[in-house]
A and B are shown apart, each in its own frame.
Chain A
């Protein structure tokens, strides 16, 4: 872990802290109401706010989780630091793709 990776990991963490609070509030709201898929998609379809909120969340978490996974692999597994970085980058890309796909799934008509 060097200063560059550190800055990216801590910056995405700082961005996500308030997003997590909002997300937990949304989760509480959705589960209380027993919202159906129709209810949910009715709110998210075509919503710029939804797209931006969760789009930002997905990008940030892909970067943050990838760096975290890199550290865990490098420290707790026999994988070298260099290979940990490669595996983690692949993981980050998967998260980014799946995440943006999910955002698109609920936002796009």
Chain B
């Protein structure tokens, strides 16, 4: 009895690679990650790709599926298949190492550049600072904090594509959550970092980040808030352009 198949085009090679076609059995409950795994195990062991948890917690399996960046472990084939076809490629806006694996270093370097790291204001010898979860700043930080650095927003962002210096939605979103962390001591440097060229002011509010984020975060809103905060700091003379 003939079984239904999916015609899958998968990116092979580096930046100058090409799409290669495979045929994969169509199953009733199947994710795009299942499809990629099937190809690697049964059709072509040379295919390189990343995954870890396969249950939508780690963000490692992010790839471009029919033109949109998605977590492949949380993308049902039935939701994306078009006329029996799926195209799978590596995340955009990042250098391709091989096939479906990208070099995430530029993404994390920009995270550092946006000062997306916590700077402590106390030592182990001080009493723990008590932060109420209901405070306005803590609620703002919590709204932005669930980012797991999967890179989907970065891949979806056209401003990242057009502007090499743009720090990107994830880095800026993290900077915003830290700006609201009352325990953090690094805000002067952080605001200066995101107010520089390539920082939050480069954002055009396309909202592609917010639309594609699997954690339902809204980097556009975080970046808009950073624009307000940096403008105030600049006008008060706390940071320089």
| Closest A residue, CB atoms, query B164 | A81
Chain A nearest CB from B143 CB (Å) reads 23
CB neighbours of A76 from chain B (8 A): 162
Contact B197 A6 (CB under 8 A): no
Cα A10 to Cα B199 in complex, Å, equals: 16
Binds A, one of B61-69, B131-139, B231-239: B231-239
Which of A2, A74, A81 has a CB less than 8 Å from the CB of B201? A2
Instruction: Assess whether A1 is in contact with B197, with CB atoms less than 8 Å apart.
Output: yes
Please state if B231 and A1 are interface contacts (CB–CB under 8 Å).
no
A5 contacts the other chain (Cβ, under 8 Å)?
yes
When chains A and B are docked, how far (Å) is the Cα of A7 from the Cα of B231? 7
Contact yes or no, B162 A3, CB < 8 A: no
User: Is A75 at the interface (CB under 8 A from chain B)?
Assistant: yes
With the chains together, A76 CA to B202 CA distance in Å? 13
Interface members, chain A 40-98 (any B CB < 8 Å) = 74-76, 81
CB contacts under 8 Å to B, within A5-54, are 5-7, 10
Tell me the bound Cα distance from A75 to B163 in angstroms: 6
Interface centre among A1, A4, A7 (most CB of B within 10 A): A1
B196 at the interface (CB under 8 A from A): yes
B201 touches A6 (CB 8 A): yes
The answer on a CB contact under 8 Å between B241 and A2 is yes
Within the assembled complex, what's the spacing in Å between the Cα atoms of A47 and B116? Answer: 55
Q: Is the interface of B mostly helix, strand, loop or mixed?
A: helix
Contact of B197 among A2, A7, A75 (CB under 8 A): A2
A31 to chain B, nearest CB (A): 34
B195 near A: Cβ within 8 Å? Answer: yes
Are the CB atoms of A2 and B196 closer together than 8 Å? yes
23 contacts between A and B (CB under 8 A): A1-B202, A2-B195, A2-B197, A2-B201, A2-B241, A3-B195, A3-B196, A3-B199, A3-B230, A3-B231, A3-B241, A4-B234, A4-B241, A5-B201, A6-B201, A6-B231, A7-B231, A7-B235, A74-B163, A75-B159, A75-B162, A76-B162, A81-B165
A75 to B202, CA, bound (A): 10
Q: Are B163 and A3 in contact (CB under 8 A)?
A: no
Name, among A2, A5, A76, the residue most crowded by chain B CB atoms within 10 Å (CB to CB).
A2
By the criterion of a CB under 8 Å from any partner CB, how many residues of chain B are at the interface? 17
> Bound state CA distance, A81 and B196, in angstroms?
13
Instruction: Name, among B199, B201, B227, B234, the residue most crowded by chain A CB atoms within 10 Å (CB to CB).
Output: B201
Q: Is the CB of B162 within 8 A of A1?
A: no
A28 to B: closest C-beta gap in Å: 31
Complex interface: chain A residues within 8 A of B202 (CB): 1
Our pick among B162, B163, B199, B234 for the contact of A7 (Cβ within 8 Å) is B234
Q: Report B208-240 residues with CB < 8 Å from chain A CB.
A: 227, 230-231, 234-235, 239
B165 A3 Cβ-Cβ under 8 A: no
Residues on the A chain within 8 Å of B235, using CB: 7
* Closest Cβ–Cβ distance, residue A62 to chain B (whole Å): 20
CA distance A75 to B230 in the complex (A): 22
- Report chain B residues within 8 Å CB of A6: 201, 227, 231
